[in-house]
Structure 1
Amino acid sequence: MASLAPIVLAAEPTAELLAWAEAIESSEATTLEKARQLATRLGAHPRPDGLTEVGFWTPELSGDVIQPRNILLEVFTPRQAIDPARPEQTVLFHRDYVQLEKQGDYHWGVLSGMRAGGASSIGSLYWLRYLSPDTNAVNIVGDPLASSYPYGVYAPAEVYDLEALQRRRGDLPYYEAMAAAQVPEAEGQAPAPFTVPAPCNILQLHVRTASPNGYLSGLTQLFRTLAGKLRSGESLTPVETNLLGYDAVQLLPTEPTVEMRGGQASDQDFFSLRPDDEGVLDPETEGIVIETGDVRVRLRRPDLQNWGYDVVIFGSAATNPALLESLRPDELVDFVAELHSFPTGPIRLIYDLVYGHADNQAIDLLNGRYLKGPNMYGQDVNHQNPVVRAILLEMQRRKVNTGADGIRIDGGQDFKYFNPLTERVEYDDPYLMAMGDLVQEIGPARWRPFVIYEDGRPWPAEGWEEISTYRDLVELRPESYQWGPLIFAHNTPALHGFWARKWRRVCEKMQFGSRWITGCGNHDTLRRGTQVAATEPINPHLGSTLPEVLANAYDNPAIGALTYGFGPGLPMDFIHCLMRAPWGFFRNTDDRFGVKVVAEEAPGFLDWQLSPEQYRDPDLFPALKQLGFTELEPLRRFLTALAEAIAATDHDLERMALACRSAAPADADGDLPAVDVAWLKAFARSFMEDMHAACNIWRHTDRVQPEQAAYNLALRQFRRSRPWLRDNLAASDDRLDLLTTPSTTIFYGIRRAPQQLPGQAPGQSSAVAVAVALVAHMGGEAMAVRLPELFPELSRELSPEHGGGWSLLLASPGLEISAAQLAGEPILLEDSQALLLEPQQAVLSKAISREK
């Protein structure tokens, strides 16, 4: 085996780096401006000359208590090939130690000998180690700004050549076209950054359950296959139809998440040194034992299962390695490139960014300046510290620079701080605006992504659902979008009378919803649907079983017609709703509260998402069946006993185990289990991992209804051909009305295109008027309606004797409309049925002229 060149500090380049940093520190810029400049060179950056720049922000090491020789960069360079597909392997690494240069709160260095990772190989891994003066323990400072963590955030980061990745990406023509569209702000000046326009609609995906193989590579292949069929003119399956007709895809967060930390670290870690190889104190020298040479490291492939919102902030510029089949950052860029090269036009990618809160594991990974204290999620993030603020913005810039066109900012209401000047807790709106101001750059293109805010302030105050305006941030940034009230997590359309109770919010949507993200189904609302107690007033017209009710509530023709065919705003669909696949809250990364989470989440998931017949599928829930839960009912009974034990013992795991012993079935070998704390934790993890596998949409393709999939695609095409629908209803001419009884809710209305359509010159008006009318049965018993009674203002002009009439544009599956019904005969509408109509254009023109 060939020897490796030692990793050493390059004196002259390091001196130049220190001089650059010193010039910034001594400048007249503000503290935040200085920090933002310095943040651009934190982390590890391969240089064209083969050297590697390294920078750490280390305020916890800024004093003179720790001797410089006891703060060392530890580098592990692979001596043999690493197979990313293997669940576990032991790999030989060469370990080097280098002392970086300390300057104020930072450590800097330019090194030779570090190996950068690429598309097919893992590069050098690195972190700082220092000797604690308080405990004499050797502690770790990881790099929170790295672009790759192939073995998780508790392992050393990887040196990765991002510049080379950008040069070989497959969508460079997309960025060349973007650069060509940049317009100079003034003659002789550089072009202003391109502003990415908002899409027509959005498809929301969770990578691990939307991908056929559970990785980003599977999504890339999926869209590549779909693109190939479109280019060759092949017919699409109903499942593939559900992926078509979108010009944006939004991924649930793809950043690294929390990891399982219970039990012995060696059993849980993805990167494990032998105890003899860990850094320790040398009692003779009072320094860290330094043994440069070869070491063996046990590597375990990350198998994290999580929605993605349990972030640790650390590593947020990178991709969760559990989403990468190859463990290479290229996998995300390949997916972006596939979307940007789609044959029907580029599909834009939206990242879901979580910077408002952190899991408690962030305490282990970040220095204390990053965090302010506990909250209901874990920890509040200290955005007010200027260096933290700068680093978080730099993390975001690097992440989005993988090629995203838009960003969704999660939980805007979480960005709060105490203002000592006003002595009030205030929202950090300047930071939220700064997130939308960042400029991205790939090749010749410079752009600002479009911005979506999720903000429900004053959440979590009592009554926030009714108090929130959902407009605070779009009023500050008018070109942005904000999640509207009809797509927020508290919506439960499976309940009887839901849409009648939401009428006020529906009216608000029509009045000023043009900057709202609209729709009904997403990752939050579908999960919320499973939390509805079966004893509540369920709408029985949606189905004969709870799974049918849930599927029809969230993949609903009437809601689709309202969202896509009539209402303003930017629609978003969740793939699990379209596929009618199971969905729930899952994570296999929680050893402390995992049992409690399962007790809370599992009963609703089983009631609303699975039938006993589906549970018997031999491919579903194998781990639970191995524990003895071969049928659904015994599992439900055990979960009931578990929930009762939690309530009776206040989550005392020892006492809970005793209380649940009699409810546990015999395992697959016929033996009664010894139910103890370890068994309860194993049960909880088995349930979560089985549930995660059951939520993969490709296990449930038989649930897709071809007629419904075709109708949904027709709705998407309908809206795309009428871009004016995204605007608010005109106050004078347009309306949406409610027809309601104790048992039925009907929405009906009409809206007209503006007289000057997009693309027309100022003052140029349409030769003919365009209008869309909606009649939608939003829930309850069947009701007969007559079009002349719903639209009396048009009844005369639309009568046969005046040569007018209604044209049927689109009807929901199963709804057949005759010419006589269009002329005024009764139309019997059943729950969830809807139709979109157009009055004959010449007649509408007369009606508009008379109104004027």
Structure 2
Amino acid sequence: MFVAEHIQLLTGPTEDLCEWHRQRREKHDDDFEVAKEIVSRLGAHYRDGVAEIGFWTPEIVKDGVPHDDVYLEVLTPTESVEVFDDGVDQQTIEVRRDRLPIYREGEYHWAVVEGMQPGTREQFGALYQLVYRQDGEWHTIQDPLAYSVPFGVFGPAELIDLETLDAERSDREYFQTLGTDEEPIPTNEDDGLPRIDPATSMVEIHPGTATENGSLGGLARRYERIGEKLRSDETLTAGEHIHLGYDAIQLMPIEPITEHRDNHDFWRVEGERVAPQGGETAELIAEQPDLINWGYDIVIRAFSAPNPAILETGRPHELVDFIAACHDLPDPIRVVFDIALGHAEGRADELLNSEFIEGPGMYGLELDYLHPVVRAIVLDLQRRKMDFGADGIRVDGAQDFKYHDPGPDELFHDDEFLAEMDAVTQEVGGTEYRPWMIYEDGRPWPRGDWELASTYRELIKQHPHSFQWSPITFAHNKPALLTFWASKWWRVFEVADFGENWITGVANHDTLRRGTQQPLPKGWEEDPINPYLGDDGPEIIDEAYDQPSTNMLLHCLLPGVPMDFLNANAHAPWSFMRDTDDLWNVKVVAEEDNVLDWHVPAELYDDERFFRRLKDLGIDERDDLDHFVHVLRDVGEATDWELEDMAATVEALGTPLDVETVTAEDLERFGEHWMADVNEFANLANWLDSLDEDRAEFMHRVREFRQDRPWLLEDIDVDGTEAFDYVHPVDGTVVYYGFRESPDGDEQILFVGNMEGPETTVEPTALDESIPESGWEVALASPGVESADTDSLSLDNGEAVVWTRQND
């Protein structure tokens, strides 16, 4: 156990650090170039037994806080601290509190400190924050560039020994061989560095519901176990099949997220603040952060750290372990980080200085990307997070990176900043590389005609190696709607014609959620649901987002990189789940008022495993809950979501809540219980054992078909020797078909699929004159297809066949 007997500021090294800072100013004329270098050394870096610590503090300078009233506060455990596990979720830790003087250089504060305890895999390290005294009161500044915030984003940062973390990772050879003849995955040279090539296919995963305890550690163990079974040729379960057939995983955001003002308080120090000479002890009451969130409600602060709510041990090492588990598989899987830096959640202004914030925006707060230091910090947050070992980066909402030009009074897309993001260099295991780059960009969204106007190609034109989300991947796509595959044909054809730099797929966190927000009509009404998908909501939604013909179209025919959603693969529920919102919680729940029709039949609501909290509120019947949440939405819209007015109206209309008088607090409590119960209900651990083994194995083979033919990434030559079309006239059933040939001409592929509609019969080889009449062998026939004859093929809704033909 490391316990420092004395923590002290090293004046000589600190003065050297300040001199280095001054030299950066002399080296560059451009403020942004200066900021990029200075920002790289902000935060806390443990090297050679000492900690270098830097803060950007314009608020202290602006407010005229005397230098002698600013200190670096260090909280050091005085005894061994257990890492969190399933049996330990709260600890009382004795800490020594030291306040150290700190040097000011312009708008920055610097310190080189001896004796700070670094955090390792086995133990927590010293916590640190900046404190200053103003008008007789003490204030705290947290490190925006921290690598670990074990007690939540509103708590202090932890010093981490990053060099040891990097040295211990089991996949160092994976990185050390990038760009060599021994590289485990293909790369291309990019300005002298290897840039990781695009994957062949990808699956999106929400860590919070992917395993029973919702942790990266649990996810790492799952992939380690899968790797063991693959090496020993053991039989895979259905729940393991749905994870395989991909060479990339896109994690939904894993950054620290906002917290509920009233319900979340994961750390506190009991005892009075110490005098500047320090040395006193205090008690740190620390809890494992227990947060429900889809990941996008970030506050920018500590973006460089993993979200502690998905770390079962509180150690950032879990993220490295998960990445290594993917890289160490017999066939390595790339890991893609979903980077949401285009906005900040509303509480971000409590954690960032005012220079960061430009003003309110659609999703909370907009950042001032034109400020040179803010610009540099955001880019360095990206670099630091990706240095945990990611292979790819997906930039969420790239169209949201904008700036206001007061001259013409217009907003412009900050493509220069997006280019800076593309140029960021990673270093892992001693190897420098650039990741596979993916942008989600729907410009000119939010302009009213964006669905027609967006080309989804603006950033591909600027960065030809990059990928963008395709037009069928965005949230507004709802494959459960009748005529989806007919009305979206023009966009699907674009995928076929020039979609080789697109991420394709109709199942992801956005599309599945939007699908469950759609009303489930009982008949042929406006926006009718496709009745051929199933007999009830759960059957329809499961089939719509995991339909054999859809998966076979995407993986066996269309270009680009198909992406699926693990929750859809598992036929697991999905909804908008977060317990971090103390302002719009009830509104968010009410807008999910259709989710019960899609995912929760009465027998599942009655199951004693589920919805325990809502039942404790007195809502014993599924239909009572369904009626109440629909009423809540109507009342909310009528009262403009004023909770006091909503409570009074709900009481007058009648409520299943077991209370004498409905209050605003009752509605808040209902929303919180809803979120917790739905999050528990959606956990994949509830659904993996109920998957159909044959179907899961078949879908795995569909994805393996793609893995065996990476050339399918390329566009279909629709104007030449290949074909992609649908059967004319539709006549009640939408049948897609396509014909492709490998680049060297040794293999041909024929796909025919009933995308929606009743059973129909076609003659596959007569669909296009380019299709050879003979020599075809069945490669894949979806479950239910009785005969895959190329002369006469009958297909029901969702069924498809893929044939291959070998050319000698």
TM-score (norm 1): 0.90
2:337 alignment counterpart: 351
- C-alpha contact (below 8 Å) 2:201/2:706 kept by paired residues: no
1:395 equivalenced with 2:381 (yes/no):
yes
Structure 1 residue 749, shift from structure 2 partner: 2.3
- CA distance in structure 1 between the partners assigned to 2:798 and 2:739 by the alignment: 19
Pairwise mapping of residues 326-345 of structure 1 onto structure 2 (< 5 A)?
Answer: 326-343=313-330, 345=331
Matched residue SS, 1:530:
helix
1:244 alignment counterpart: 244
Decide whether aligned partners of structure 1 residues 291 and 167 sit closer, same or farther in structure 2, where only a CA change above 3 A counts: closer
2:735 alignment counterpart: 746
- Out of 796, 799, 807, the residue aligned to residue 830 of structure 1 is 796
Structure 1 residue 461, shift from structure 2 partner: 1.1
Structure 1 residue 673, shift from structure 2 partner: 4.8
Structure 1 residue 277, shift from structure 2 partner: 2.4
Matched residue SS, 1:588:
coil
- CA distance in structure 2 between the partners assigned to 1:808 and 1:232 by the alignment: 29
Matched residue SS, 2:673:
helix
Matched residue SS, 2:178:
helix
Matched residue SS, 1:109:
strand
Over residues 129-155 of structure 1, what are the superposed CA-to-partner deviations in whole Å (9 max), with x where a residue is unaligned?
12335xx43221110101000001111
Pairwise mapping of residues 740-819 of structure 1 onto structure 2 (< 5 A)?
Answer: 740-741=729-730, 743-754=732-743, 757=744, 766=745, 769-794=746-771, 798=773, 804-817=774-787
Tell me the matched-pair count.
792
2:350 alignment counterpart: 364
1:600 alignment counterpart: 591
1:736 alignment counterpart: 724
- CA distance in structure 2 between the partners assigned to 1:165 and 1:428 by the alignment: 35
- CA distance in structure 2 between the partners assigned to 1:248 and 1:146 by the alignment: 27
Matched residue SS, 1:90:
strand
2:368 alignment counterpart: 382
- C-alpha contact (below 8 Å) 2:4/2:117 kept by paired residues: no
- Out of 470, 478, 481, the residue aligned to residue 464 of structure 2 is 478
Structure 1 residue 473, shift from structure 2 partner: 0.7
1:76 alignment counterpart: 75
2:266 alignment counterpart: 270
- Out of 609, 629, 643, the residue aligned to residue 639 of structure 1 is 629
1:526 equivalenced with 2:512 (yes/no):
yes
Decide whether aligned partners of structure 1 residues 58 and 571 sit closer, same or farther in structure 2, where only a CA change above 3 A counts: same
> CA RMSD of the aligned region, Å?
2.1
Decide whether aligned partners of structure 1 residues 839 and 91 sit closer, same or farther in structure 2, where only a CA change above 3 A counts: closer
1:58 equivalenced with 2:57 (yes/no):
yes
Which letter maps to 2:708?
S
- Out of 627, 634, 647, the residue aligned to residue 617 of structure 2 is 627
Which letter maps to 2:537?
L
Matched residue SS, 2:724:
strand
1:106 equivalenced with 2:86 (yes/no):
no
Which letter maps to 1:375?
G
Matched residue SS, 2:298:
coil
Decide whether aligned partners of structure 1 residues 62 and 810 sit closer, same or farther in structure 2, where only a CA change above 3 A counts: same
- Out of 642, 645, 648, the residue aligned to residue 652 of structure 1 is 642
Task: Out of 215-224 and 644-653, give the one that drifted further.
Answer: 644-653
- C-alpha contact (below 8 Å) 1:212/1:219 kept by paired residues: no
Decide whether aligned partners of structure 1 residues 190 and 789 sit closer, same or farther in structure 2, where only a CA change above 3 A counts: closer
2:524 alignment counterpart: none
Decide whether aligned partners of structure 1 residues 427 and 793 sit closer, same or farther in structure 2, where only a CA change above 3 A counts: closer
- CA distance in structure 1 between the partners assigned to 2:485 and 2:272 by the alignment: 63
1:509 alignment counterpart: 495
- CA distance in structure 1 between the partners assigned to 2:2 and 2:257 by the alignment: 37
Decide whether aligned partners of structure 1 residues 90 and 678 sit closer, same or farther in structure 2, where only a CA change above 3 A counts: farther
Decide whether aligned partners of structure 1 residues 190 and 744 sit closer, same or farther in structure 2, where only a CA change above 3 A counts: closer
- C-alpha contact (below 8 Å) 2:532/2:758 kept by paired residues: yes
Task: Out of 15-24 and 674-683, give the one that drifted further.
Answer: 674-683
- C-alpha contact (below 8 Å) 2:355/2:368 kept by paired residues: yes
Decide whether aligned partners of structure 1 residues 413 and 546 sit closer, same or farther in structure 2, where only a CA change above 3 A counts: same
Structure 1 residue 182, shift from structure 2 partner: 9.9
Which letter maps to 2:777?
S
- CA distance in structure 2 between the partners assigned to 1:595 and 1:525 by the alignment: 22
- C-alpha contact (below 8 Å) 1:204/1:574 kept by paired residues: yes
Structure 1 residue 652, shift from structure 2 partner: 1.6
- C-alpha contact (below 8 Å) 2:3/2:117 kept by paired residues: no
- CA distance in structure 1 between the partners assigned to 2:725 and 2:595 by the alignment: 36
- Out of 585, 588, 591, the residue aligned to residue 582 of structure 2 is 591
2:186 alignment counterpart: none
Which letter maps to 1:609?
H
- C-alpha contact (below 8 Å) 2:722/2:770 kept by paired residues: no
Over residues 232-264 of structure 1, what are the superposed CA-to-partner deviations in whole Å (9 max), with x where a residue is unaligned?
1111111111111211111000000111113xx
1:549 alignment counterpart: 540
- CA distance in structure 2 between the partners assigned to 1:160 and 1:753 by the alignment: 50
- C-alpha contact (below 8 Å) 2:70/2:132 kept by paired residues: yes
- CA distance in structure 2 between the partners assigned to 1:346 and 1:701 by the alignment: 23
Which letter maps to 1:54?
I
Matched residue SS, 1:235:
coil
- After TM superposition, the runs of 4+ consecutive aligned structure 1 residues lying more than 4 A away are 1-4, 288-292, 420-423
Matched residue SS, 1:485:
coil
- CA distance in structure 1 between the partners assigned to 2:436 and 2:546 by the alignment: 27
Decide whether aligned partners of structure 1 residues 175 and 421 sit closer, same or farther in structure 2, where only a CA change above 3 A counts: same
Pairwise mapping of residues 572-587 of structure 1 onto structure 2 (< 5 A)?
Answer: 572-587=563-578
Structure 1 residue 64, shift from structure 2 partner: 7.1
Over residues 790-823 of structure 1, what are the superposed CA-to-partner deviations in whole Å (9 max), with x where a residue is unaligned?
13455xx62xxxxx343222111111225xx32x
- C-alpha contact (below 8 Å) 2:238/2:689 kept by paired residues: no
- C-alpha contact (below 8 Å) 2:121/2:317 kept by paired residues: yes
TM-score (norm 2): 0.95
Decide whether aligned partners of structure 1 residues 70 and 742 sit closer, same or farther in structure 2, where only a CA change above 3 A counts: farther
Over residues 62-119 of structure 1, what are the superposed CA-to-partner deviations in whole Å (9 max), with x where a residue is unaligned?
2472111221111111123334233333222111111210010100111122111111
- C-alpha contact (below 8 Å) 2:3/2:77 kept by paired residues: no
Over residues 456-489 of structure 1, what are the superposed CA-to-partner deviations in whole Å (9 max), with x where a residue is unaligned?
1111111212211011111111111100011111
Task: Out of 72-81 and 149-158, give the one that drifted further.
Answer: 72-81
- Using the aligned pairs only, state the percent identity: 40
- CA distance in structure 1 between the partners assigned to 2:757 and 2:324 by the alignment: 46
- CA distance in structure 2 between the partners assigned to 1:217 and 1:778 by the alignment: 39
- CA distance in structure 1 between the partners assigned to 2:730 and 2:168 by the alignment: 62
1:762 alignment counterpart: none
Over residues 157-214 of structure 1, what are the superposed CA-to-partner deviations in whole Å (9 max), with x where a residue is unaligned?
011111111011111121222264599xxxxx99932211111111111101112321
Over residues 623-663 of structure 1, what are the superposed CA-to-partner deviations in whole Å (9 max), with x where a residue is unaligned?
11111112211111221232232123222212222222363
- CA distance in structure 2 between the partners assigned to 1:519 and 1:4 by the alignment: 54
Pairwise mapping of residues 36-55 of structure 1 onto structure 2 (< 5 A)?
Answer: 36-48=36-48, 50-55=49-54
1:97 alignment counterpart: 99
Matched residue SS, 1:771:
strand
- CA distance in structure 1 between the partners assigned to 2:779 and 2:302 by the alignment: 50
1:724 alignment counterpart: 711
Matched residue SS, 2:519:
coil
- CA distance in structure 2 between the partners assigned to 1:3 and 1:574 by the alignment: 46
- Out of 438, 443, 449, the residue aligned to residue 424 of structure 2 is 438
